[in-house]
Amino acid sequence: MRHDLPLGLRHGGRPLKSWLTTAEPPWWLAFLAGGLAGLALPPLGWPWLLWIALVPLWRLSWRGGAVWGAAAVLVSHRWLLALHPLDWLGVPGLLSAPLVIGLWLICGVAAALLVGLWCALVQRAGPARLSTALSAA
């Protein structure tokens, strides 16, 4: 009978449905989903990708939410890097790159803090409850 089970289940592993409902998704899934959310915004403009990217966000802890938020904003705000060189504003070339990269990273950190806080509040309220879904949306 045990030979009929997939390899992971023979050695005490859990089925995929159990992983989707009980365990937090791995950090790389949060990173990929956040990057997908960032790509869904213009200039590509594929908003249907956001529905796919939002699915893992519901199960993430505050750390996973921070990774998701940072990845989404760093990918979607990649246009900030095109501001370099800032000589059109009178900023010297050596100072231009650190300013642009710093601004880009500050945006990513702000998104990480906000989405991480949102995920922490959702997990504290209980993501399986309908009232949490309605208030968090």
The pLDDT tens digits for 13-28 are 555 455 445 567 788 9
Q: Where are the domains of the chain?
A: 25-136
Residue located via tokens 């501001």: 83
pLDDT score for 19: 46
Half-sphere exposure of 11 (CA within 13 A, CB side): 2
Alpha-carbon distance of 37 to 54, in angstroms, equals 8
pTM of the model: 0.79
Copy the structure tokens of residue 2.
């045990």
Residue 45 pLDDT class (50, 70, 90 cuts) = confident
